[in-house]
């Protein structure tokens, strides 16, 4: 019986890894090719909306610059043995903290009053002083899942009021942006630790740290207060804890993984993608090595993920005396994702979510039924004209994942500020916009190529734990291919590409090094 279970679990692991790698390779191969001949960019002419513009790249110039980047990275690879990983990591974290703090302090960004970010943050600010009127308004009846981030922000603002009662206007908001920075630092540390657990050679971690030094979009997105940074940081830390639990078998890692996954979903519902990936890998590992401890930790994680994210809505409903209901159903975002958006195919279009929900009298079931009809109709259209389906989803994919700034430049350029935007804003997003975007574009091509090498190398062993990051990436690719699209949504998954890209570069450089 044990031998049959072992053979079954081994075959399941190899099959699952192969499917993950084939699908992810197909996406990344297409994106890598597309990145060399075109780039998409968010146009900032209309500050109230988003508009994707595609332009042709100089393929010859891209190849030259990529060759220079590969040569520089190879020189680093050859001469990095004398550099300690921990010293490199400390330098990275200090650089991130210093640059992030300076950037937040000098840009002083605040969300415009029409944005989701403003509504959730302002709602939390008012709730922190006992005014819950904002939370009773239409927005939170439409999007009750935002209440998790509202509660997180309210707790922070209450703590700020205890210690800094006379802080000037906007100081608490900037402090919340600074908290984003601490989450980002934790995320970087977790990525480095994950890489160390998956790949033993220290040079892979060194290459990852080198990539993180030049990954600017996460830093420029720090002023965006919407749950993305803390949620995805929790998700990445949950992966770290899960790997520690699998490797060392200590209960505390399994418990921490469960709590981090629950907190991640509470802050951002999309983190269910992480939960599905971690849960699937955990089940396969459990079949390979069945233990009661592992089963109990998995069940505890499932219980946390299915219960804790519901608490913020219950807390506010009980405290305010409001019934938020189920809000706009998830299928409505698929209806949006299957149609033309304001900016590009599948991007935001209120007709399929907010407007449909209001026309149906805020009836979630009726809105879901209408959305299913829209999806069914679009599927029939795609089946009648397969070429239009390919064009639609190709443009949708490239508009999100081949936009090198991942919305970070647009965000900074259209957001107002509490005061005059300073030197760092001008350097990155003002007069230096073209330089910054060009740097991000070349960096993205470099990462895509490294990722492609890494995925090809992972095919040799088909280790499911090593395929966990590609699995999460694949989940993000598929989810945003079917549901609402936005380049900003792709940014956290871009960070997940970096460990596999570092591994890919390592394998290529090691081959070159061994050549006579």
Q: Which residue has the higher pLDDT, 159 or 6?
A: 159
Instruction: Please state the length of the chain.
Output: 516
Q: Which of the four pLDDT bands, split at 50, 70 and 90, describes residue 169? A: low
Q: How far is CA 8 from the centre of its chain?
A: 33
Report, in angstroms and rounded to the nearest whole number, the Rg of the chain calculated over CA atoms: 23
Does residue 181 contact residue 223 with C-beta atoms inside 8 Å?
no
Q: Are 238 and 264 in contact (CB under 8 A)?
A: yes
pLDDT in tens, 418-444: 888 889 999 999 899 999 999 999 999
β-partners of residue 55 are 39
In 136-291, which ranges are continuous DSSP H helix?
Answer: 138-142, 147-163, 171-198, 202-213, 217-220, 228-248, 251-267, 272-288
> If you average pLDDT over residues 480-484, what whole number do you get?
95
Using pLDDT thresholds of 50, 70 and 90, give the confidence band for residue 330: very high
Which residue is listed with tokens 């192969």? Answer: 18
Where residue 204 falls among pLDDT bands split at 50, 70, 90?
A: very high
- Predicted pLDDT at 2: 65
Domain hosting residue 23, numbered range: 2-514
Q: How many domains does the chain have?
A: 1
| Helices 147-163 and 251-267, axial angle in degrees (round to 10) | 100
What average pLDDT does this structure show over 196-216?
96
Per the structure block, which two tokens stand in for 248? 């060392």
Task: Give the span between the Cα atoms of 188 and 327, in whole angstroms.
Answer: 34
The whole model's pTM is what? 0.95
Whether the CB-CB separation of 493 and 477 falls below 8 Å is answered with: yes
pLDDT at 480: 95
Query: C-alpha angle 409/412/417, rounded to 5°?
Result: 170
Host H or E run for residue 42: strand 38-42
Give the separation between CA 287 and CA 289, rounded to whole angstroms.
6
Asked if 342 and 349 touch (Cβ cutoff 8 Å), the reply is: yes
pLDDT at 113 over 90: no
């Amino acid at each position: 019986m044990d031998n049959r279970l072992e053979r079954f679990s081994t075959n399941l692991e190899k099959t699952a890894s192969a499917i993950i790698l084939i699908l992810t390779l197909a996406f990344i191969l297409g994106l890598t090719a597309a990145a060399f001949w075109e780039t998409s960019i968010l146009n900032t002419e209309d500050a109230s909306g988003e508009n994707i513009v595609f332009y042709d790249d100089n393929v010859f110039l891209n190849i030259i610059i990529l060759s220079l980047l590969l040569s520089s990275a190879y020189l680093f690879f050859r001469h990095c043995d004398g550099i300690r990983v921990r010293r490199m990591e400390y330098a990275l974290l200090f650089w991130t903290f210093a640059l992030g703090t300076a950037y937040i302090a000098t840009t002083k960004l605040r969300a415009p009053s029409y944005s989701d970010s403003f509504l959730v943050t302002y709602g939390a600010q008012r709730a922190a002083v006992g005014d819950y009127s904002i939370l009773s308004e239409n927005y939170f009846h439409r999007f009750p899942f935002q209440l998790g981030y509202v509660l997180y922000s309210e707790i922070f603002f209450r703590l700020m009021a205890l210690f800094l009662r006379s802080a000037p206007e906007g100081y608490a908001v900037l402090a919340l942006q600074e908290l984003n920075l601490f989450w980002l630092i934790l995320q970087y540390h977790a990525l480095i630790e994950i890489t160390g657990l998956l790949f033993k050679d220290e040079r892979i971690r060194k290459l990852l740290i080198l990539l993180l030094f030049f990954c600017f979009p996460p830093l420029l997105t720090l002023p965006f207060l919407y749950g993305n940074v803390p949620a995805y940081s929790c998700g990445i830390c949950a992966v770290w804890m899960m790997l520690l639990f699998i490797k060392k078998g200590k209960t505390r890692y399994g418990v921490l993984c469960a709590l981090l996954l629950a907190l991640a979903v509470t802050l951002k519902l999309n983190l269910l993608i992480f939960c599905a990936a971690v849960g699937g890998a955990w089940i396969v590992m459990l079949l390979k090595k069945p233990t009661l401890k592992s089963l109990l930790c998995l069940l505890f994680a499932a219980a946390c993920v299915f219960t804790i994210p519901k608490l913020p809505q219950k807390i506010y409903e009980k405290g305010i005396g409001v019934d938020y209901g189920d809000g706009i159903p998830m299928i409505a975002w698929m209806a949006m994702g299957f149609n033309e958006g304001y900016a590009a195919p599948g991007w935001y279009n209120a007709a399929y979510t907010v407007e449909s929900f209001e026309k149906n009298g805020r009836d979630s079931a009726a809105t879901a039924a209408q959305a299913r009809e829209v999806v069914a109709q679009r599927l029939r259209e795609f089946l009648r004209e397969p070429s239009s389906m390919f064009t639609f989803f190709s443009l949708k994919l490239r508009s999100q994942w081949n936009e090198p700034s991942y919305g970070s430049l647009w965000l900074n350029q259209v957001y107002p500020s509490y005061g005059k935007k300073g030197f760092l804003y001008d350097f990155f997003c003002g007069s230096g916009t073209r330089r910054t975007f060009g740097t991000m574009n070349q960096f993205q091509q470099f990462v895509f190529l490294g990722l492609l090498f890494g995925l090809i190398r992972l095919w040799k062993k088909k280790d499911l734990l090593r395929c966990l990051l590609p699995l999460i990436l694949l989940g993000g690719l598929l989810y945003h291919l079917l549901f609402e699209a936005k380049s900003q949504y792709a940014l956290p998954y871009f960070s997940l590409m970096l460990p596999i890209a570092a591994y890919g570069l390592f394998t290529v450089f090691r081959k070159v090094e061994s050549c006579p």
